[in-house]
Structure 1
Amino acid sequence: MTVCVWCQRPLKTSLTLAQFWRWGPVTPPDICVPCQGRLSPISGQHCPHCGRQQTTCQLCQDCQRWDQPLVNRALYCYDAEMKAYMQQYKFQGDYALRRVLQRALATALTQLTYDILVPIPIAQSTWQSRGFNQVTGWLTGQAYYQVL
């Protein structure tokens, strides 16, 4: 029996008719429904530069203050639950938690056009204490990403 990588509760999986007739491998979920509900996807209107969810599609106050804002696209709100996830994944070194965001990140990256995907390196001291680069962890195993 598989367990949720975040809370360690047993995962209940049920085979749908579509999965049955596809005759291919069925990928079990990595996290349970309650843990998936802990994440708050950014949807609707957001800042066109940083992706922060807001009530308009105008630049947010932070991006307005910066002369040359970094353009990115956030997938989830950085709220208390995401902060707890990051604490456990990055700072407590729970590498299995990379799987919580891998599929969502892979889906988001298929919607973008880019020449090369380069994860931001981490400091040597961080690598030694944590043992992994959190971004590389999210990307590992994806068809579009190869560790050189």
Structure 2
Amino acid sequence: MKAASVAVLFGLGYLGYELNSKNTELQQIATNNTELSTKLTDLEQMNALLKNAKRIQLKGVEKHPDMLAEVYWDDSKKVYLDIKNLPAAPTGKQYQLWAIVEGKPVDMGMYDQQKDTTKMQAMKSVENPQAFAITLEKEGGNPTPTMEEMYVMGTI
């Protein structure tokens, strides 16, 4: 009788271990499912943006001929920046996006290279831009662009 009781206790212990292990597996599957669902939502939003936005290619200027970025400007005047191959900004510096409106530069915000670089970054909204450009500025940006530090530019 004691042997049977001990066997039942070991069996229950093993069953508890297996159930806990299965619970951990189910939690991991649920986490993976949530991550995939989030990625799918992001892709659907990106697809809608790409279908309804004007794509402006920003090509490297004379000093930086191989550099490339893209701006997407949608009907609601929102702007999204997609850096393709600009080098990492040096310490204390940051890339700043500019829109050219009526011949004057308008600050569109700073590119945050700490964010997920696989995603486009939302920038400030703008009406009637004629062009976009990116300059390398002091961290936090400048009220006017440093023209000698322009990397890319593209007209609409």
Q: TM-score, normalised by structure 1?
A: 0.22
- Which structure dedicates a bigger proportion of its chain to strand? 2
Q: TM-score, normalised by structure 2?
A: 0.21
Greater Rg, structure 1 or structure 2?
A: 2
Q: Which has the higher contact order (CA 8 A, sep 6+)?
A: 2
- Which structure dedicates a bigger proportion of its chain to helix? 1
